[in-house]
Structure 1
Amino acid sequence: MDTNQPIIVKRVKKIAAGRHGGAWKIAFADFAVAMMAFFLVMWLMSSATPEQKKAISGYFQDPIGFSESASPYVIDLGGTPTPAPDRTLNPELNEEITPGEQPLNALQAEQLFEQAERERLDILLVELQRKINDDFDLQPYKEQILMDISRDGLRIQIADAANRPMFDLGSARLQPYFEDILFIMADTIRDVPNKISVGGHTDAKRFASDSGFGNWELSANRANAARRALHAGGLGDDKIARVAGYASSIPYDPADPDSPSNRRIDILVLTKRALDGIEGEQGDNKGASETASAAISNAAATTPTKPMRDKLNVFEKGVLQFEDVDG
C-alpha cells in the first residue's frame, strides 16, 4: 500500500456557451459614437446654405485667417493672419463691395430686384399650395383655385363650379367655404410686402329685370365683398392697391361666355412694376384733373381782349375750346 501513487483529481471549469469578455462593448460604443457623429455632419452639410459651405471651405483652407469667406476676426495661434480685404460701401446700393468690383448700374440693380421679387412670389405660391393641400375642409374645392405667376405678379383665381358657386345667385353674399379660402389667402399674403389687386368677374348672362343693376355692378360688389373678407382675415387696407369689377369683359373661357368658370374672383399679388403702373394711372388722372382746374382758374383770372373773348369758351368740365370765328 505504501508503494501506490497518490490519485490527483483535476476539475476543469467549463465556460457556458455565449459568455466571453466585455471588450467588444467598448469597441461597439466607439463605433456607435463615430457613426452618430458622421450622420450628424452629413445632416448639417445637407442643411447648410451655400454661404455657410463657403465659410467652412475657407476655414479648412486657411484656419488662421479665412477672412475672405467668413469673419475677419481670427484666433491668434502664433501665426501670421491673412489680412482682411479692404471693403468700401457702395452708396447707391447701400452694400459693401471689394476693391476691383464694379458697382451695379441701375439696370442691373433693377434686374436683381425683379429676380428677388420673383423668388419671393415663387415661395408665396408654394406656401399657398401647401396650406390648401393641408386643409382637409378645402380638398373638395382645390380644382376651383387656380394659381400662376404672370408678368404682373402672383395671380390667384377662385372660380365657380357648376354645383358650387362662391356667391348667392345674383348677389354679393359669400358662401362659407369661399370665406375660408379667402382667410387662408389673407393670412399668407399679409406676410409679404407686396400690395394686391382684387377683381370681380361674371358670366355673360344678363339680368331679367330692367332695374339698371347689371353685371358691372354685380362684379364690383363681389370684388368689394372679397376685399372685406380679406380684411377680416387680417389683410390691412393699406395692402389693397385696387378693387375693380370687370363684368364679363375678360372671360376665363372665351369659347363659352356663360361658363361657370367665368364667374370668378382674382387676387393679384402685384410686382413693383405693376404697382407703379397702377399708381401711375392714378397719378395721371390726378394730374389731368389738377391741370384742368388750373386752366379754368387762369382763364377766369385773365381778362382777355375783345377778339379773344369772342373765341374763348370755358366749359364746366374744365375743357378749353377755341373757336375760329374766321372759319
Structure 2
Amino acid sequence: MGAQANAAPVIIKRKKVVGGGGHHGGAWKVAYADFVTAMMAFFMLMWLLNATTEQQRKGLADYFSPTIPINRISGGGDGAFGGDSIFSENVLPKVGTGATAQKPSPSKASRGASGLIADGTENDGTDAALRSIEDALSAYGGESMVMDDLMRHVVTRITDEGLVIELFALDGLPLFEGTTAQPTPLLRDLGTLVASVSQTVTNGVAIGGHVRANAIVRADNPVWDLSSQRATAVRALLEGLSVAPERMQRVTGHADREPVLLNTMATRNDRIEIILLR
C-alpha cells in the first residue's frame, strides 16, 4: 500500500542544553552587610573614646554591661535565687557563727558578696548600693560652678575591695600645702563632700596616700613619710567631719610607687584614695 501524498512530515526538534554555574545566591551580600556594620561600630567607638569624658565612658560601659538577675550572695529560696547564703552569719560553716572569729561583733559579721551595710541592714544588691553612693557623690556636679570645680578633682570606681573615691591635685590646685601634709581649703571642701556621702553607710574606710616622684634622687627620700602623713591627715579630717573613728580600718602610704601617669613627677600623681570597704 503506498504512502499518502498529503501526509504531514514528522519534525524532530532537539533542544541543546548548555551547562553552567547557575545562580550563586546572595550570601556575599550578608557578609558585606556584616562587615559594613562592624566598621560603623568601630568608628563610632573611636569617636566616643575621643568625644567623651572618663565619667561618661564609664556610664556607657555600665549601660552595655550584661545584667543577670541572680543574687550573688544567695543560696536558693525566695525571689531571684534568694535565701540563705553560706556567707550569712548564721550559716557559714567555719566556726558556726558565720565569721572567722569565735565571737564576732555585728560590725565584723560576714556580709556576703556585697558587704555593704546601709542603715544597719544588709544590702544584698551587690554593686547596686555602691553605685548609689557613687551616684550621690556625682550628683553634686552641675549644682554650681563651685561644685563643678570641686568635682574636677574626683574620680570614683568600684573594685573588688569596695568603692574607691580618688581625690587628686591638678596643676596650680594642690591638695596639700607645698610638700607638707597640711590640707588646703580645696581638700577640706572635698573632704566635706566625701564625709556627707559616707555617713549614709557604716562600712569600714581605708585611706591611701600617693605622692609624685621627686626630680632629684635623695638619700633620705621623703615620699614614704609624706604619703603616710598625708593619709593620716585625711583620716583626721574625716573624723573631724563626723565620720566615726571606729570605721577607720587602714591608713597607708604608698609613696610614689603607684603613679597614674607615665610621668611619675606629674601633679596628677598627688592623690588620696578613700575606699568604702565591702
- TM-score when normalising by structure 1: 0.48
| Deviation, structure 1 residue 142 | 2.2
Q: Distance in 2 between the 1:179 and 1:208 partners?
A: 31
Q: Distance in 2 between the 1:158 and 1:247 partners?
A: 16
Q: Distance in 1 between the 2:225 and 2:137 partners?
A: 30
Amino acid at match of 1:270: L
Amino acid at match of 2:206: S
DSSP-derived class of the 1:106 partner: coil
- 1:281-320 to structure 2, matched below 5 A, reads none
- Distance verdict in 2 for CA 1:179–1:135, change over 3 Å: farther
Q: Distance in 2 between the 1:97 and 1:263 partners?
A: 48
- 1:177-256 to structure 2, matched below 5 A, reads 177-205=186-214, 212=220, 214-253=222-261, 255-256=262-263
Q: Distance in 2 between the 1:197 and 1:236 partners?
A: 13
Residue in 1 aligned with 2:135? 126
Question: Of residues 62, 65, 86 in structure 2, which corresponds to 1:106?
Answer: 86
| Deviation, structure 1 residue 209 | 7.0
Residue in 1 aligned with 2:102? none
Question: Of residues 136, 160, 163 in structure 1, which corresponds to 2:169?
Answer: 160
Percent sequence identity over aligned pairs:
21
| Deviation, structure 1 residue 228 | 1.1
Q: Distance in 2 between the 1:135 and 1:192 partners?
A: 26
Contact 1:252 1:261 (C-alpha < 8 Å) held by counterparts: yes
Q: Distance in 2 between the 1:213 and 1:172 partners?
A: 16
Question: Of residues 132, 150, 160 in structure 2, which corresponds to 1:151?
Answer: 160
- Distance verdict in 2 for CA 1:191–1:126, change over 3 Å: same
Q: For residues 265-309 of structure 1, give each alpha carbon's deviation from its aligned partner in whole angstroms, at most 9, with x where no partner exists.
A: 0101111xxxxxxxxxxxxxxxxxxxxxxxxxxxxxxxxxxxxxx
2:264 is equivalent to residue 257 of structure 1: yes
- Distance verdict in 2 for CA 1:208–1:129, change over 3 Å: same
DSSP-derived class of the 1:116 partner: coil
| Deviation, structure 1 residue 106 | 1.8
| Deviation, structure 1 residue 118 | 1.6
Residue in 1 aligned with 2:65? none
DSSP-derived class of the 2:208 partner: strand
Higher relative contact order (CA 8 A, sep 6+): 2
- TM-score when normalising by structure 2: 0.55
- Distance verdict in 2 for CA 1:135–1:213, change over 3 Å: farther
Q: Distance in 1 between the 2:246 and 2:144 partners?
A: 28
Contact 1:206 1:215 (C-alpha < 8 Å) held by counterparts: no
- Specify the structure having the higher radius of gyration (Cα): 1
| Deviation, structure 1 residue 137 | 2.2
DSSP-derived class of the 2:258 partner: coil
Amino acid at match of 1:214: P
DSSP-derived class of the 2:171 partner: coil
DSSP-derived class of the 2:125 partner: helix
Q: Distance in 2 between the 1:103 and 1:164 partners?
A: 50
| Deviation, structure 1 residue 138 | 2.9
Question: Of residues 132, 141, 148 in structure 2, which corresponds to 1:139?
Answer: 148
DSSP-derived class of the 1:194 partner: coil
| Deviation, structure 1 residue 180 | 0.8
What is the aligned-residue RMSD (CA, Å)? Answer: 3.0
Residue in 1 aligned with 2:29? none
Q: Distance in 2 between the 1:102 and 1:216 partners?
A: 46
- Distance verdict in 2 for CA 1:206–1:119, change over 3 Å: same
Amino acid at match of 1:263: D
Residue in 2 aligned with 1:116? 125
| Deviation, structure 1 residue 110 | 3.6
- Distance verdict in 2 for CA 1:162–1:113, change over 3 Å: closer
| Deviation, structure 1 residue 187 | 1.5
User: How many residue pairs align between the two structures?
Assistant: 173
Q: Distance in 1 between the 2:241 and 2:254 partners?
A: 24
| Deviation, structure 1 residue 133 | 3.6
Contact 2:113 2:126 (C-alpha < 8 Å) held by counterparts: no
Q: Distance in 1 between the 2:115 and 2:218 partners?
A: 51
Question: Where do 5+ consecutive residues of structure 2 fail to align?
Answer: 1-73, 89-110, 117-123
Q: Distance in 2 between the 1:246 and 1:102 partners?
A: 40
